Structures are given as structure tokens and as C-alpha cells.
Amino acid sequence: MKLFKSVHTYDYPWSLVSAANWQKYPNEHCSHVYAVDVLDRRVEPDTGVLITERLITVKQNVPTIILKLMGTGYTQYVREISRIDPKSKTLTMDSINLTLSSYMSVAESIEYTEHPSEPGKTQFTQQAAISAGTKLARWASLVEDFSAKRFQQNADIGREGFNQVLQRFVVRAEASAANQASAASS
């Protein structure tokens, strides 16, 4: 098993980041994310926490050698459960792949929280555990190394992509605020 961890600070307030997170895809940096579907969603009545179950369809570019080993195309289905607590300003997302887990499983956990000392910023923590499955046990370390590298690349690309999403989100929010202001004043 390989463990991966990455920490990052976004220069935007948590409320904006958490809203933009729902609109993260599509973005040109993450073309491997093919579809995102909400399966279930509810607000817990006693806590006010929003919980959402999503299915993410991923089409990853994988070296042909690995596709040959697996004898399969490479569409992955990932189940994600997120919790958003607007009071503590915390968003967590846990995800795991549903398919191909006999080859490999990737359990990822992401958290966005308000920055403890700078409330206008958001702290991002991403952790993942990557394990080769039974069918690749003989090549476990090779496959885990490759996957950890790919995960790191995707994490970097994902961060870049999300930064652009955030920038666009801010522009749109300002434009709509300006429209509302001019509508109110006319």
C-alpha cells in the first residue's frame, strides 16, 4: 500500500470554495472526469449537515501495457460521499473506486476547512491510500508506484484546474452582484 498526502491553501473564503466545488467539472485540466452524478442527497435534520452521494465516471489514460495486463478498457466508477457542515465550515469528501478493485483500490479523503488564522482563505487536505489488488499482487510495488505517481500528477492538475474554476466563479459572482446592484438602482 502507498499513502499519499497533500496540503494546499486556496486564497478564497470557504463558502466560495465549497460552492465552486460542486461546479469543479468539467474543467480542461481534468478531461479524465467524464461524468458526475448525484445519487442521493439530504440535509440531516438534527445537525443541518448536507450529505451527498455521487458517482463519478472516470476515463483515464493508462499505458497500453497495463491495459493488456488487465484485458479491459479503463472506465472507472468512483463512489463519493461528502458532508458539508456550514456551521463549522468544513467540507469532507470520501471516495473509493467501485470497479477494477481486484486490480487496484484508491481510497481518497479530502477536506476543505476555513483557514484557522486567515478566515478569507481555505485549507485543503487530500489523502489517499493506494493498494494493488489480488490480480496484480505479483506486480504490486510496480503498480502502486506507477499509480502513486499518476495520483500525484492528477492531484497537481486537479489543483490547477480548480484554481481556474475558482477564478471563473469569482468573476461570475461579481458580474451577477453588479447586475443585481444595477437592477436595484434603476
Partner 1 sequence: MSSSIGTECTDLKQKYDTCFNKWYSEKFLKGDTTPECEDLFKDYKACVMVALKEKQIDTLLADARKESPFPPPSSSSNSEA
Residues at the site binding partner 1, with contacts judged by CB under 8 A: 15, 18-19, 22-23, 25-26, 33-51, 53, 55, 57, 77, 79, 81, 83-84, 86, 96, 98-99
Q: Which is nearer to partner 1, 57 or 123 (CB)?
A: 57
> Smallest distance, Å, CB 177 to partner 1?
12
SS3 of 160, please?
helix
Asked if 55 and 34 touch (Cβ cutoff 8 Å), the reply is: no
Residue 43 or 175 having the CB closest to partner 1: 43
- Of 50 and 62, the one with the shorter C-beta distance to partner 1 is 50
Burial class (CB in 10 A: 0-12, 13-18, 19+), 160: middle
Query: What Cα–Cα distance (Å) separates residue 73 from each residue in 62, 63, 78, 87, 106?
Result: 9, 11, 16, 43, 18
Write down the least CB distance from residue 50 to partner 1, Å.
Answer: 6
In the bound complex, what is the minimum distance in angstroms from residue 41's beta carbon to partner 1?
7
Q: CA quadruple 168, 170, 150, 152: dihedral positive or negative?
A: positive
Which residue number, 4 or 34, has a Cβ lying nearer to partner 1? 34
Instruction: Give min distance, CB of 76 to partner 1, in A.
Output: 11
The DSSP result for 70-111, as a single string, is HTS--EEEEEEEEEEETTTTEEEEEEEESSSTTTEEEEEEEE
Rounded to whole angstroms, what are the CA distances from 6 to 90, 106, 116, 124, 137? Answer: 17, 15, 18, 8, 27
Nearer to partner 1, 81 or 140 (CB): 81
> Any idea which residue has 483500490 for its cell?
105
CB of 40 to partner 1, least distance (A): 6
CB of 79 to partner 1, least distance (A): 5
Nearer to partner 1, 29 or 146 (CB): 29
